[in-house]
């Protein structure tokens, strides 16, 4: 009888211990959840505080002030010109610099075809550009301009600079033009293609082309002693052999020639001076 009572007491005691253990587990389960939430909040507050201080530092300290601007790819424009046109200020915070705005400023310069600007942390800027190249000199009115082969006017030049290795185009019917504008005349492109085609056949002999009409061009050498009259650039290539034969005949017989006319189909005419 006594043993039975003891067994019952032991069972009751074990029951109570199990209940207490379950209660402890519940309390322990609640504590880690609230603790984790608190830790996460503290973590993000610390990160936010450090981030705010970091960005405040790089945007306001002299550590990230622009000290050097490196310019690459310029052949015609000077570094001072490019730096001035970019409107980048030394001492300006590198992160406050508006790269797109500086690119837009530079692209207003006709000489600049492509431009890229990069930040080099902490204090350098690299400007890489590709310039447009002058392919021809054009007389418009009484003024002379350098232009690309596409007709983009790059700069106004002095008359004394008109011959510096580029062909000269005369007779273009345009009164005025501004730097950066495009010469939108088909005869301009035909004139340039014609003199370039002749340059392929006879290098360094011809330097000037006079536009007589939209389909009539007179190509001349430097002292006007040799002239070729043409209507289309492809005719020059097609009549290369005839042209060479005519030049040999003129030199051999010492003919006084007004011009060589290659406008006619399958023939060439040497017009002699009277």
Last residue of one domain, picked from the residues 98, 131, 164? 131
Last residue of one domain, picked from the residues 131, 155, 170? 131
Instruction: Say what the pLDDT of residue 145 is.
Output: 94
Last residue of one domain, picked from the residues 80, 107, 131? 131
Q: Are residues 148 and 195 in the same domain?
A: yes
As a whole number of angstroms, the distance between CA 256 and CA 259 comes to 9
Order of all β-strands in the sheet with 112-120: 68-72, 124-131, 112-120
How many angstroms separate the first and last alpha carbons of the chain? Answer: 158
- Output the pTM of the full model: 0.71
Q: What CATH number does residue 119 fall under?
A: 3.10.20.310
As a whole number of angstroms, the distance between CA 119 and CA 115 comes to 14
Q: How far is CA 28 from the centre of its chain?
A: 66
Give CA angle at 99 (102, 78), nearest 5°: 40
Q: Are residues 146 and 211 in the same domain?
A: yes
Q: Is residue 153 part of a domain?
A: yes
Query: Please, which residues bridge with residue 72 across strands?
Result: 128
Q: Which of 258, 112, 259, 138 is CA-nearest to residue 192?
A: 138
Grouping H, G, I as helix, E, B as strand and the rest as coil, residue 137 is strand
Instruction: Say what the pLDDT of residue 56 is.
Output: 61
Cα 118 to Cα 65, 66, 75, 94, 115: the distances in Å are: 14, 12, 20, 10, 10
The tokens 């006079």 sit on which residue? 210
The continuous run of DSSP H or E covering 51 comes out as helix 2-60
Q: Are residues 142 and 204 in the same domain?
A: yes
Peptide bond between residue 253 and the one before it cis (omega within 30 degrees of 0): no
Residue pLDDT tens, the chain, 274 long: 444 435 545 554 544 444 454 544 444 445 577 777 777 777 777 676 566 655 665 666 677 889 999 999 999 999 999 999 999 999 999 988 999 999 999 999 999 999 999 999 889 999 999 999 999 999 998 899 999 999 999 999 886 655 568 999 999 999 889 999 999 999 999 999 999 999 888 888 899 999 999 999 999 998 888 999 999 999 999 999 999 999 999 999 999 999 999 998 888 999 998 7
As a whole number of angstroms, the distance between CA 224 and CA 166 comes to 16
Q: How far is CA 110 from the centre of its chain?
A: 11
Task: Summarize the chain as % helix, strand, coil (round to 5).
Answer: 45, 25, 30
Instruction: Say what the pLDDT of residue 190 is.
Output: 95
Enclosing domain of residue 77: 63-131
Q: Is 170 within 8 Å of 139 (Cβ atoms)?
A: yes
Grouping H, G, I as helix, E, B as strand and the rest as coil, residue 234 is helix
Q: Are residues 198 and 222 in the same domain?
A: yes
């Amino acid at each position: 009888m006594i043993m039975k009572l003891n067994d019952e007491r032991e069972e009751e005691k074990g029951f109570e211990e199990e209940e207490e253990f379950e209660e402890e587990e519940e309390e322990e389960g609640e504590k880690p959840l609230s603790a984790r939430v608190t830790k996460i909040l503290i973590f993000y507050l610390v990160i936010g505080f450090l981030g705010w201080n970091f960005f405040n530092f790089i945007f306001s300290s002299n550590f990230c002030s622009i000290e050097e601007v490196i310019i690459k790819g310029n052949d015609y424009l000077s570094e001072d010109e490019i730096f001035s046109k970019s409107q980048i200020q030394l001492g300006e915070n590198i992160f406050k610099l508006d790269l797109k705005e500086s690119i837009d400023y530079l692209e207003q310069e006709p000489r600049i075809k492509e431009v890229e600007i990069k930040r080099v942390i902490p204090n350098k800027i690299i400007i890489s550009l590709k310039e447009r190249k002058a392919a021809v000199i054009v007389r418009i009115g009484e003024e002379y301009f350098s232009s690309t082969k596409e007709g983009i006017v790059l700069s106004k030049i002095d008359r004394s600079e008109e011959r510096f290795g580029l062909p000269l185009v005369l007779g273009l019917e345009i009164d005025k033009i501004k730097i950066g504008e495009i010469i939108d005349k088909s005869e301009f492109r035909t004139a340039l293609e014609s003199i370039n085609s002749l340059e392929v056949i006879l290098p360094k002999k011809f330097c000037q082309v006079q536009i007589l009409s939209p389909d009539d061009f007179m190509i001349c050498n430097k002292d006007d002693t040799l002239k070729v009259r043409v209507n289309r650039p492809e005719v020059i290539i097609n009549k290369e052999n005839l042209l060479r034969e005519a030049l040999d005949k003129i030199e051999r017989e010492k003919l006084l020639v007004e011009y060589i006319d290659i406008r006619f189909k399958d023939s060439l005419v040497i017009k002699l001076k009277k």
